Amino acid sequence: MSARPRVFFALWPGDEVRHQLFHWQTQNLPSGVRRLHRDDLHLTLHFLGEVEPPRIEVLKRLADSLRLVAFELVLDRIGYWPRPQVLWAGPSAIPVALVDLHARLGERLREADFATESREYHPHVTLARKVRQRLQVGPLVPLSWPVTELALLESRPGSAPNYRPLARWTVR
Q: Please tell me the total number of residues recorded for the chain in this structure.
A: 172
Distance CA 52, CA 44 (A): 20
Q: C-alpha distances in angstroms, 136 versus 124, 130, 142, 169?
A: 19, 15, 18, 37
Distance CA 98, CA 69 (A): 9
Q: C-alpha distances in angstroms, 33 versus 7, 86, 135?
A: 25, 10, 10
Q: Of 19, 102, 122, 124, which one is the catalytic site residue?
A: 124
Distance CA 6, CA 124 (A): 19
19 is catalytic: no
Closest CA to 101 of 171, 47, 48: 171
Residue pair 150/63 in contact by the 8 Å Cβ criterion: yes
Q: Which residues pair with 75 in a beta bridge?
A: 143
42 is catalytic: yes
Q: Of 23, 42, 46, 102, which one is the catalytic site residue?
A: 42
Residues belonging to the active site: 42, 124
